[in-house]
Amino acid sequence: MDWKLALRQSKTWLAAFVFLIMATFILSLSTGVMPIRFSEILNTLAGSGTPRQELVLFQLRLPRMVIAMLIGAGLALSGSILQGLSRNSLADPGILGINAGAGLAVVFSIYLFGQEKGSLLSEPFFLPVFAFIGALAIAALIYRFSWKGGIDPERLLLVGLGFNALCGALLMILQLKMDPKDFQQAAIWLTGSIWGTGWPYVWALLPWILILIPAAFYKARTMNLLQFKQEVPVALGLKVESERRLLLCLSAALAGACVAVGGGIAFIGLLAPHLARRLCGPNYFSSLPLSALIGAALVLMTDMIGKNLLAPADIPVGIVISVIGAPYLIFMLLTRKGSGMRV
């Protein structure tokens, strides 16, 4: 099955989530501590708004919402790749330790350099690099310790859970040794707060997303073949272990870049791919783009809820998603049948 046929079959759901994202985007743009009517948004976009409205829309809300969508799409695709590699619908970059590895690298860099003006980390372009290194290092360790004459998907999941716990412990140790100011910054970041809300953070994240998301879509055929027993892709000429390593690196890069800007946001890589498979089936030609749209919609919606529910207090996105994701994970475990991709 090619992209055209797959997208044609899932076009209803794709169109539905595009509409949901657009509606949520407009609603989020108009709500907050300073409500702005839709007519005022149009006037501001046309250049006729007040200076205050321009500040709120262009410098505060728009970059934050763009970042939310980019993070949601990236984490959803990262989780979709991991679930395909492990053939387990409970796999997620937050559960397997890849997010924790990226977070550990970022917190360690804050511990070493701080984030004062003029320091290395005051430039947002360095954060995805540190996060990518951390995520890739943990992904490599997971792959190495999962190897035993080949990669067993179940062992990959269990090893990932172990490294997730290890990174969590190391994060706690680092936080205890940090300067109080840096500790506060790291604590806010680890809750999953989209704290990098300015346009520089958008430009720092955007190149990673523009390169990695098309790369993930390009690997849809490979992901489909990896769902069969190993003899099938090998017979079709696929270099299975080489492709698994490449896909694991791709997942780590997506998660690392998103975690660098969005912090420790969990469950998106679990929820979005699972919902996409339920709606359009297991074919990666259709489930990958739908996962990206669902992830973008989820983070955008939870960000809107977080900034309005207890306004003027701002609830971190990671906390709102965890409130939704934890019960859903329990539901998945209770309805799970076997170890494959049948949840």
Handedness of CA 144, 148, 153, 159 (dihedral sign): negative
Tell me, what's the pLDDT at 80?
93
Output the six-digit token pair for 234: 């090998």
Phi then psi for 49, rounded to 5 degrees? -80, 170
The tally of CA atoms less than 13 A away on the side-chain side of residue 233 is: 17
Tell me, what's the pLDDT at 3?
66
Tell me, what's the pLDDT at 201?
85
Q: What is the pLDDT along the chain (343 residues), one digit of tens a residue?
A: 566 666 677 888 899 999 999 999 999 999 888 888 888 888 888 888 888 888 888 888 899 999 999 999 999 999 999 888 878 777 788 888 888 888 888 888 877 776 555 455 556 677 778 888 888 899 888 888 877 766 676 777 788 888 888 988 888 888 788 777 777 777 776 777 775 568 888 888 899 899 999 999 999 988 988 888 777 777 777 787 788 888 988 998 999 888 888 877 888 998 999 999 888 888 898 899 999 999 999 999 999 998 888 777 788 888 888 888 888 878 777 776 554 454 4
Measured CA to CA, the distance from residue 290 to residue 293 in angstroms comes to: 5
Q: 151: which strand partners? A: 147
Q: How many residues does the chain have?
A: 343
User: Interior CA angle at 115 toward 197 and 92, to 5°?
Assistant: 60
Tell me, what's the pLDDT at 121?
54
Interhelix angle for 268-280 vs 62-86, to 10°? 70
Q: Are 217 and 289 in contact (CB under 8 A)?
A: yes
- SS3 label, residue 94: coil
Alpha helices (H) in the chain, listed in sequence order:
3-9, 11-30, 38-45, 51-54, 62-86, 98-113, 126-146, 153-177, 180-190, 199-218, 220-225, 231-235, 240-262, 268-280, 284-308, 317-334
Tell me, what's the pLDDT at 176?
81
pTM of the model: 0.89
Tell me, what's the pLDDT at 115?
59
Tell me, what's the pLDDT at 2?
63
What burial letters (b/e) apply to 134-170, b meaning 16+ CB within 10 Å? bbbbbbebbbeebeeeebebebbbebbbebbebbeeb
Tell me, what's the pLDDT at 339?
44
Tell me, what's the pLDDT at 70?
94
